[in-house]
Structure 1
């Protein structure tokens, strides 16, 4: 059975590789930001998102991260594996400092990632290891590396945007109350999210710890988030959680509220709750001084979300690609 000892450490002249620790957080963020700037990436992980990986019991950093450090202690390359114990896939992330690219480091990291994914599936007693990663459209160098290694695009996600001027006003349907998101509702919303996304491609249930990591994100805006409650029973029928990226204006020239999660449980679908939650979110963004609303959607979402968003005035801005590779082929 595979384990971490079976995974070869990447190698590159001038770099020393080891697992990332919490003390490396600032250096890790610095290389993430350098890569994003060089690629003109529309987004990158924030400091709090990177910090959360050190609190993830399902994916301990000591076993599931590796980074290459130069002689000054700067992080020049990194890779990370994330997998739920019962999950059918592992999601991988990585990057190489622009000044250190074209030296074979990316390929070395990818080999490490695939070996670690095989070990994770073996540790979980599962066959058929599947690795998934994501790129933004236009990331040609990253895409070329993946394609050469046998990865194929399996899904497209569309980032969508609309100005808040003239935003539609959609009242809550009869029997539904929309209330602000509060910590007291957090667990009920987690359970509602797991149910609402059970039929969504690639989605896996979020544990209490994983949910807590999301709620601890510095970019989360609880005051911009809301929950749709069944007025008769008090049950959570739907929800939306919103984020704000403070660097967005300098990159994009606009202030926007971002709908990170939007879901409606099956028993309450088809009543206009999602539209009402989006309308409520746009009103909250407007009151907070935002001028645009943004979200992402799986273009093949089974609930018809893309049609809803287009009806609510959102228009495609750019795409993210999901790449898969079965490792037992």
Structure 2
């Protein structure tokens, strides 16, 4: 077992390791799909998602990804680290081909992610010119990993490598074949469909709405581009509440739909990717209106279930609202942290 602070083993020498490249898209996506076919995660990256990752300027793949290939050139493992320049943590992700699991590759990938996290913090500190003021505390490297509760092999790996659970999240479903809830806005507010003209106003509203949420960091233009240009994004199923007199974004519900996942699961799911209400507009039933609107949009599009994820300790009381509106928990995931 590796205690917190111990050095993890190096990458497995049976594989040839290098950063992901454009030419690797098919192999990279194939590795993730093979792993997902066995582990059955709620969501996994597909080729279109990887194409977006390859275009990232804030987290360029040349420095922040690693792919391991066997002697036949088949991708068998990968890891990726992302970090906001001013962020207080890096986030790691990756997978190991099921046929190669249990042989120590995963712990090597953790070691690579931890080292890359240390480097990212050092690079960001250097770019900022070091500690600007006397007495200021420079952020220490921290890596965060996410996993679904059912993936106990990951839990064993994380716990054995010095990580601790810091948060739980509930995946919640709401059947759409039941009576749908109602919601009424104040006369000074209006509900509109999300579209390109609202991309930047909603980004700013999101950063404002989530500034009091645990673990949330502001989304810059590139990070927001990953949201609005997500291959599964459905602006037609997304709503925004505006203040009539000023045009200010009061709240928003951004939806996605995974058509491929629906085939595998056997039901069609409208997923609320992001839901937020600005502080100044809370307590006016806006979230309820947005969710009720989302359910109607989902149902009209032929979907069976409305779904979302919620931090189990959300400070706005969101969990109670979701239960009131008919959502129930169907899955749980957690965030694990390690201070490096």
TM-score by length of 2: 0.91
In structure 1, the partner of 2:335 is 322
In structure 1, the partner of 2:106 is 106
Structure 1 Cα separation of the partners of residues 318 and 50 of structure 2: 29
Matched, 1:97 2:105: no
* Deviation, structure 1 residue 40: 2.3
How many correspondences in the alignment? 321
Matched, 1:286 2:299: yes
* Deviation, structure 1 residue 172: 2.2
Structure 1 residue runs of 5 or longer lacking an equivalent are 1-6
Matched, 1:37 2:37: yes
Structure 2 residue runs of 5 or longer lacking an equivalent are 1-6, 126-137
Matched, 1:201 2:201: no
Structure 1 Cα separation of the partners of residues 191 and 72 of structure 2: 53
Instruction: Give yes or no for contact 2:194–2:235 (8 Å, CA) kept in 1.
Output: yes
Structure 1 Cα separation of the partners of residues 9 and 312 of structure 2: 37
Structure 2 Cα separation of the partners of residues 64 and 18 of structure 1: 10
Deviation digits for residues 168-209 of structure 1 (CA, Å, limit 9, x no counterpart)? 121223311000001011100000001000110111011111
Matched, 1:212 2:225: yes
- The 3-state SS of whatever aligns with 1:296 is strand
Q: Runs of 4 or more off by more than 6 Å in structure 1?
A: none
In structure 1, the partner of 2:312 is 299
Matched, 1:308 2:321: yes
Structure 2 Cα separation of the partners of residues 122 and 13 of structure 1: 27
Structure 2 Cα separation of the partners of residues 180 and 118 of structure 1: 42
Matched, 1:153 2:165: yes
Instruction: Give yes or no for contact 2:78–2:94 (8 Å, CA) kept in 1.
Output: yes
Structure 2 Cα separation of the partners of residues 274 and 11 of structure 1: 46
In structure 1, the partner of 2:238 is 225
* Residue correspondence of structure 1 range 157-168 to structure 2 within 5 A: 157-165=169-177, 166-168=179-181
- The 3-state SS of whatever aligns with 2:87 is coil
- The 3-state SS of whatever aligns with 2:308 is strand
* Residue correspondence of structure 1 range 64-79 to structure 2 within 5 A: 64-79=64-79
Alpha carbons of structure 1 residues 150 and 9: separation in structure 2 relative to 1, 3 Å: closer
* Deviation, structure 1 residue 252: 2.1
In structure 1, the partner of 2:150 is 138
* Deviation, structure 1 residue 248: 2.5
In structure 2, the partner of 1:4 is none
